[in-house]
Structure 1
Amino acid sequence: MVNRAEVREKIVETAARLLHERGAAAVTIRGVAQAAGLQPPALYRFFEDKDALLDAVAEHVFTTYVAEKSLDAASADPVADLRAGWAAHIGFGLANAALFGLLVAPGRVSPAAEAGLAVLRARIHRLARTGRLAVPESRAAGMVHAAGTGTVLTLLATPPESRDPGFADAMFEAVARQILTGPPAAAPDGTPAALPAPPTLTEAERALLAEWQNRPAPTG
């Protein structure tokens, strides 16, 4: 007896491979059926059309990614965890260009994408609990999510050989300076980030802080 769950899983995994290797245009009912060793009518027993199949593929791949991300052990530094999550998000988007485009399509409601946002909100909440947030949690999560999505789309729109290797890190630092009350985690090269001024400082206090930050270390 044919196991429907196994057949469906085979179809989705085959479509996911085609999507990754050849892009969304390659994921047709006929093409996926042929690659899976099935007749095209068999796919219609599981999916209404190509869009439904693509939705299932997006959920399959992204759910696996979110599950792995949610299992990452938290470190002692919540900012470092946020940076690690950012890097993972950028890496996933660049490695799954066609799928990423489906996930961020306007109007799309994805349970897997919502699960990913839940992981981000948990990391933002941890920052808030340690007194590191300068803005409300909802704003911080929205800014990180929007900046991360925009960063991936910008990099995907740029030929690989022309991409700025420091662009993603620079975007993280820009957002971190807006949402954090203390210095963001050091960049991958070990360079410490500048201390952003807390939003409650007066102009005179900000000037004093800037002078203190830029003052050379004493010698001797």
Structure 2
Amino acid sequence: MPQSQSPPARGRILDAAVTYVSEHPGEDMPLRAVCSAAGVQLPTLYHYFGSKRGLLDEVEKIGFQRFMAAKRQVQTSGNFLTDMQRGWDRHIEFAMENPGLYLLMYGQLQPGSINAGRREPEEYTLGQCRKAGQEGILVVSPELAAAHIMCTCIGAALRFIVYGEVDAVLSREILDATLDTVTGSDHRAESPRVTTAARELLLALAEEDVDLAGPELNLLQHWLQRM
């Protein structure tokens, strides 16, 4: 019987590197440990990836691919606030579920290291902000809104990784403050109870099924958002 062939060396090296980064968040990745796990010698690793940085760049690409796959699984509602809340929560969840990859993606950076993988989440958020801008929801440019959202979410995620747990109250307050900034909402208005009730109902609508047709639900969400 013919013997089964082992996976190509490049794939084994990359799999071993992803596993090491995932299992040792924030730690330096020894190439010899990766080679040992992949069953190759150092020259083979250098042949395929050129350097340690080249290998880490490929691991980072996998991290962003998984991150975007998780983002695209989030069900969108067409309501900007609801979709930002869902996207924010999934972003934080991914970071906590994959601290090693996330720290490589957003915590171990080189100046000017903007690449296609790192731009994709930015472009995804920017697309949502452009739609919100067309609907008159934003008081800043879509580009600035997307930058606000990404910067604060990344900062929050890194903090939660460092502390080893998510502070749900802090997470929501950071998100609320960011959305207030980009939408011009004023939660210090004279009727705080109305504002709070509107926000709580918006969150409930995002998490529960309601017996409303699509246009009716969108209209309700629109007016709650205005409140």
**What's the TM-score once normalised by structure 2's chain length?**
0.72
Deviation digits for residues 26-81 of structure 1, max 9, x if unmatched? Answer: 62221111111222221111112222111110111212321442465532322211
CA distance, structure 2, for counterparts of residue 24 and residue 49 of structure 1: 19
2:31–2:52 Cα contact (<8 Å) kept:
yes
SS at match of 1:166: helix
2:63–2:105 Cα contact (<8 Å) kept:
no
- Percent identity (aligned): 24
In structure 2, relative to structure 1, the CA distance for the partners of 1:214 and 1:91 (3 Å cut) is closer
In structure 2, relative to structure 1, the CA distance for the partners of 1:75 and 1:159 (3 Å cut) is closer
What's the counterpart of residue 88 of structure 2?
A: 86
In structure 2, relative to structure 1, the CA distance for the partners of 1:24 and 1:38 (3 Å cut) is farther
SS at match of 2:155: helix
Q: 1:149 aligns with which of 143, 154, 176?
A: 154
SS at match of 1:41: helix
Shift, 1:116, TM fit: 1.1
Deviation digits for residues 58-108 of structure 1, max 9, x if unmatched? Answer: 111212321442465532322211111111211222222233233222422
In structure 2, relative to structure 1, the CA distance for the partners of 1:167 and 1:117 (3 Å cut) is same
Q: Which amino acid aligns with 2:103?
A: G
In structure 2, relative to structure 1, the CA distance for the partners of 1:88 and 1:11 (3 Å cut) is same
What's the counterpart of residue 79 of structure 2?
A: 77
What's the counterpart of residue 163 of structure 2?
A: 158
Equivalent residues, number: 187
1:103–1:110 Cα contact (<8 Å) kept:
no
RMSD: 2.7
SS at match of 2:163: coil
Q: Structure 2: where are the runs of 5+ without partners? A: 198-227
In structure 2, relative to structure 1, the CA distance for the partners of 1:99 and 1:123 (3 Å cut) is same
Shift, 1:168, TM fit: 1.3
Q: 2:139 aligns with which of 134, 140, 156?
A: 134
Q: Which amino acid aligns with 1:139?
A: L
In structure 2, relative to structure 1, the CA distance for the partners of 1:148 and 1:129 (3 Å cut) is same
Q: Tell me: higher relative CO, structure 1 or 2? Use CA pairs within 8 A at least 6 residues apart.
A: 2
**What's the TM-score once normalised by structure 1's chain length?**
0.74
What's the counterpart of residue 63 of structure 1?
A: 65
In structure 2, relative to structure 1, the CA distance for the partners of 1:154 and 1:24 (3 Å cut) is closer
Shift, 1:145, TM fit: 1.0
CA distance, structure 2, for counterparts of residue 24 and residue 44 of structure 1: 23
Q: Structure 1: where are the runs of 5+ without partners? A: 182-195, 199-205
CA distance, structure 2, for counterparts of residue 197 and residue 174 of structure 1: 10
Q: 2:121 aligns with which of 116, 125, 128?
A: 116
CA distance, structure 2, for counterparts of residue 69 and residue 148 of structure 1: 13
2:60–2:101 Cα contact (<8 Å) kept:
yes
SS at match of 2:77: coil
More helix by share: 2
CA distance, structure 2, for counterparts of residue 55 and residue 169 of structure 1: 32
